[in-house]
Amino acid sequence: MLPFHLRNVETRRIEHRPIIPTTAIMPLSPSAAPATPTRPPHVPLVPVLSGASFRRAAGQRLPSVLDVPHVRLVTSGRIALALALRELGVGEGDSVLLPAYHSLSMVPPVLWRQATPRFYRVDAAARADLADIAALCDASVKVLVATHYFGFHQDLAALRALCDARGIALIEDCAHAFFGEYGGRPLGSHGDYAIASSMKFFPMYEGGVLVSARHALERVALHSAGKGFEAKVVLNTLEHSFRYGRLPAVRALLALPLRAKDLLWRRIKASRPAAAAASGGLAPGSSDSDFSFDPRWLDKRSSLFARWLLGRLSKERIVALRRRNYLRLQQALAGLPGCRPLHAALPDGVCPWLFPLVVDDAEGAFARIRQRGLPVVRFAETLWPGVDADRCPDSAYLSRHVLAFPCHQELSEQEFDWMRAGLAEVLAP
């Protein structure tokens, strides 16, 4: 039988080629990290549900996108983006300004509206280039999408002023910034609309948010995606947790029903492959980490389970632990030669998605990180065809050189310490 950490190899990926250990995992040498366990933990790249998820924690109360007056809970951020574009009446002949440093999932909603995506520059710190945006603004441009990368906000005052002066709408892309404030107001409240991706901050299998501080969302009518979807969300959330050794009592309780479900599923797959493939559509592609966009999810409400978790889990705890873990990584990794944090400091009012590190020899470090079985995300590793160093040198550079590491609230102390020590060692010369 395989050793524990290899048996539990992650099968669910998250976007932007997160790298989950699938190769041999070597223990750290005792001299490098005396406290390192001999059996390396299997570190969850995204939040996993556990008993601890329900704990309360005192900490900085940061607003979230949910603190904006008009809210719709959908199944992914890209669906929310498509709905925002639809609300704005974007259509054929229109252009939408997207950042050259982007997730591939941001483009299909624009194409679905039959509009043209045009890519504006960001600088070396991933700040939107206002002069380039102004230069791109012609009569066809209807919307600017501004992304708060890794949880760090853009200069919203300047972007808002530019959009107002040009008569174009601003969509805040809070996919990486579920929490945070700018100018004393929640992120998401400065745009005409804002979108967020709940899965990146909460231990859940699906979830996206469309909000607006300016416009009611009455036309966005949503309904349940059905019992199969509701059940799948619960099961997938739980099974993901079990894979990381969370919720052992629930796992024991559900062992038999889950085995029966697996058996039944295998039989269906063998006897009716077409039916099995169709039921793959029980959840959106975003939940299984591809960049696809399926308009059939536009009118689907987020699951009951995800909505219950959103209301139940302590937001203070999420913010406090993410900030704490980020600062610990910053301390451990800052000063290593050949790499630097994308951001020199973690300002008040920021709740990070990941810890982004700019690495000179990113490919070499990436290979060593993979070999060690350490978790890593390469956001925007692949850019939309045509978006290259000529269009935006800094985006091209960031897409190749940023390696990002989890700092989420569901990392156990053991997992976090092992990851931190391993990264410090792997990134040292």
Binding site for ligand PLP (CB under 6 A): 15, 76-78, 103, 105-106, 147, 173, 175-176, 197, 199, 208, 286
> Closer CB to ligand PLP, residue 28 or residue 398?
398
C-alpha to C-alpha distance for 327 and 346, rounded to whole angstroms: 7
Residue 259 half-sphere exposure toward CB, CA atoms < 13 A: 5
> Closer CB to ligand PLP, residue 300 or residue 372?
300
> Closer CB to ligand PLP, residue 101 or residue 242?
101
Task: Please give the backbone phi and psi of residue 54, each rounded to the nearest 5 degrees, phi first.
Answer: -95, 0
> Closer CB to ligand PLP, residue 10 or residue 15?
15
> Closer CB to ligand PLP, residue 173 or residue 417?
173
Residue nearest to ligand PLP (CB): 77
> Closer CB to ligand PLP, residue 15 or residue 192?
15
Q: How far is the CB of 26 from ligand PLP (least distance, A)?
A: 30
> Closer CB to ligand PLP, residue 123 or residue 425?
123
Q: How far is the CB of 111 from ligand PLP (least distance, A)?
A: 14
Q: How far is the CB of 245 from ligand PLP (least distance, A)?
A: 26
Q: How far is the CB of 134 from ligand PLP (least distance, A)?
A: 22
C-alpha to C-alpha distance for 114 and 108, rounded to whole angstroms: 10
Q: How far is the CB of 78 from ligand PLP (least distance, A)?
A: 4
Q: How far is the CB of 208 from ligand PLP (least distance, A)?
A: 5
Q: How far is the CB of 417 from ligand PLP (least distance, A)?
A: 28
> Closer CB to ligand PLP, residue 155 or residue 381?
381
> Closer CB to ligand PLP, residue 36 or residue 287?
287
Q: How far is the CB of 65 from ligand PLP (least distance, A)?
A: 12
Handedness of CA 225, 229, 230, 236 (dihedral sign): negative
Q: How far is the CB of 219 from ligand PLP (least distance, A)?
A: 21
